């Protein structure tokens, strides 16, 4: 397969086709590790044989171009080369919208026409990394996990005698969470500051809480 093919876009199409919400769930579906999925996003690679073996009944054309035999085929040969947005091919836009995966097909076409293909690959890789961090946070952060225990206690599904034992289990997970995140706290804080300024146009928030 050509290196010009956007492999992260293929992975995103698999998610939508099978209702998969996260990269971790995608890894489970394909039978690989979450790290493998992250590497595919970062390096623009994919195991086509594995993907086709798991996505039975789904054509390779659909995964790559978002086109099916029943709909107008959209291939890279339909895409013209001008770099300015004003020169976009109206016929191609019509074909893209009519294709089975019109939104992503048109999105990829617009990136090509505006010379934003390399940047969008980086952007997709970053989003994948953030998604993995969010999944890790949801699984190991004590505040999120305690809500489930609280609701179980309120509904009478667990006894008060088990509460301390369960909470100690949450503490163990939270220590794992801190062990992974704490070495990068300064970097995360810097990113948070930049986002805050971007959204609020104001001074940075007080994050002294994180100075542990």
**What does the pLDDT profile of the chain (212 residues) look like in tens digits?**
445 677 888 888 888 888 888 888 899 999 998 888 888 888 888 988 888 888 887 777 778 776 544 444 444 444 444 444 445 555 556 565 555 556 676 777 778 778 888 888 788 778 777 877 877 887 787 887 888 888 888 888 888 788 888 899 889 988 888 888 889 888 888 888 888 787 776 655 555 544 54
Give the position of tokens 């890789």: 125
Q: Is residue 82 part of a domain?
A: yes
Token output for 9: 């876009």
Query: How many angstroms separate the CA atoms of 32 and 3, rounded?
Result: 22
The pLDDT, as a whole number, for residue 86 is 47
Q: Is residue 131 part of a domain?
A: no
Q: Is residue 124 part of a domain?
A: no
Q: Is residue 133 part of a domain?
A: no
* Residue where a domain terminates, one of 118, 133, 162: 118
The pLDDT, as a whole number, for residue 29 is 92
Q: Is residue 126 part of a domain?
A: no
Contact call for residues 13 and 59 (beta carbons, < 8 A): no
The pLDDT, as a whole number, for residue 2 is 46
Residue 108: CB atoms within 10 A of its CB come to 22
Q: What is the pTM of this model?
A: 0.46
The pLDDT, as a whole number, for residue 202 is 62
Residues near 60 by beta carbon (within 8 Å), at least 6 away in sequence = 48, 52
Residues 57 and 114 in one domain: yes
Contact call for residues 13 and 20 (beta carbons, < 8 A): no
Q: Is residue 136 part of a domain?
A: no
Long-range contacts of 170-174 (CB under 8 A, 24+ apart): 170/142, 170/145, 170/146, 171/142, 173/139, 173/140, 173/142, 173/145, 174/140, 174/141, 174/142
* Residue where a domain terminates, one of 49, 83, 118: 118
Residues 82 and 147 in one domain: no
Domain containing 108 equals 7-118
Q: Is residue 162 part of a domain?
A: yes
Query: How many angstroms separate the CA atoms of 68 and 95, rounded?
Result: 12
The pLDDT, as a whole number, for residue 31 is 92
Residues 112 and 201 in one domain: no
Q: Report how many domains make up the chain.
A: 2
Residues 106 and 19 in one domain: yes
Residues 92 and 165 in one domain: no
Question: The dihedral of CA 184, 187, 190, 196: what is its sign?
Answer: negative
What are the phi and psi torsion angles at 179 (to 5°)? Answer: -60, -35
Residues 64 and 160 in one domain: no
Q: Is residue 123 part of a domain?
A: no
């Amino acid at each position: 397969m050509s290196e010009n093919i956007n492999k992260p876009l293929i992975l995103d199409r698999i998610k939508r086709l099978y209702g998969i919400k996260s990269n971790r769930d995608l890894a489970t579906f394909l039978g690989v590790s979450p790290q493998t999925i992250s590497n595919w996003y970062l390096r623009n690679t994919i195991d086509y044989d594995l993907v086709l073996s798991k996505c039975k009944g789904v054509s390779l054309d659909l995964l790559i171009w978002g086109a099916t035999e029943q709909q107008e085929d959209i291939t890279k040969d339909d895409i013209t080369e001008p770099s300015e947005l004003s020169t976009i091919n109206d016929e191609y836009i019509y074909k893209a919208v009519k294709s089975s995966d019109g939104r992503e097909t048109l999105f990829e076409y617009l990136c090509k026409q505006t010379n934003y293909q390399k940047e969008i690959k980086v952007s997709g890789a970053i989003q994948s990394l953030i998604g993995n961090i969010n999944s890790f946070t949801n699984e190991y952060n004590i505040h999120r996990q305690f809500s489930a225990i609280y609701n179980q206690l309120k509904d009478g599904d667990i006894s008060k005698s088990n509460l301390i034992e369960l909470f100690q289990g949450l503490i163990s997970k939270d220590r794992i969470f801190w062990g992974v995140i704490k070495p990068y706290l300064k970097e995360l804080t810097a990113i948070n500051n930049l986002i805050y300024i971007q959204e609020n146009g104001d001074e940075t928030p007080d994050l002294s809480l994180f100075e542990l």
